């Protein structure tokens, strides 16, 4: 019997962070072993409790969180991951990943990610931020490193603007994540 696929779900500071709880639930129901890492900014939008309950695992909220054993949590997750899925992925997080900055648990997992694992980013941000040349340059750099993107989609944004920037539907993010794992 195959062991379940391990997905590290990174949740960042976007109004769409609450939708990541539905994503964690969908992936867990599909038989994936979901481990959630939340940035400090994500904690301003949603607490770890829904993720802990839905994934059935502790949630990493700080670089120095320790679950068990001797290996730092972020390195253990990076070693064991089959997929790093960041949803929502903010402009800030995309920039950090493009530049290789590692100053929190999520960015450290990304930088230490085992070479066999895949990375999927689901952006969610203001449309002007998404279309800014710096963000597009960071996206192009990450794509050149074989990082996959899903979204964003167009529609009414939380900021009141109409346009591109909405988180892709969680059902479609889940489906793409499962495709990448098959």
Question: 156: buried, middle or exposed (CB in 10 Å: 19+, 13-18, 0-12)?
Answer: exposed
Strand order across the 33-38 sheet: 33-38, 6-11, 83-89, 118-123, 148-149
**Tally of CB atoms within 10 A around 166:** 23
Q: Which residues pair with 150 in a beta bridge?
A: none
Of 159, 161, 162, 172, which is the active-site residue?
A: 159
101: tokens are 């900055």
Sign of the Cα torsion 33, 39, 42, 46 reads positive
108 is catalytic: no
Tell me the torsion sign for CA atoms 155, 177, 40, 143. Answer: negative
**Which of 155, 178, 182, 181 is closest to 168 using CA atoms?**
155
Radius of gyration of the chain (CA): 15
CA 27 centroid distance within chain: 13
Residues involved in catalysis: 159
């Amino acid at each position: 019997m195959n062991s379940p696929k391990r997905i590290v779900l990174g949740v960042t500071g976007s109004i769409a962070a609450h939708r990541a709880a539905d994503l964690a639930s969908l992936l867990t129901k599909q038989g994936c072993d979901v481990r959630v890492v939340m940035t400090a900014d994500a904690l301003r939008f949603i607490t770890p409790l829904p993720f802990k309950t839905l994934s059935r695992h502790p949630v990493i909220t700080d670089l120095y969180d320790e679950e068990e054993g001797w290996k730092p949590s972020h390195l253990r997750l990076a070693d064991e991951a089959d997929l790093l899925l960041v949803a929502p992925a903010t402009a800030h997080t995309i920039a950090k990943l493009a530049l290789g900055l590692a100053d929190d648990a999520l960015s450290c997992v990304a930088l230490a990610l085992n070479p066999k694992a895949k990375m999927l980013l689901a952006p969610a941000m203001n449309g002007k931020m998404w279309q800014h040349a710096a963000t597009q340059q960071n996206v192009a750099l990450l794509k050149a490193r074989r990082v996959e993107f899903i979204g964003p989609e167009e529609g009414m944004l939380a900021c009141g603007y109409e346009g591109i920037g909405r988180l892709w539907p969680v059902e479609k993010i889940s489906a793409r994540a499962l495709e990448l794992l098959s």
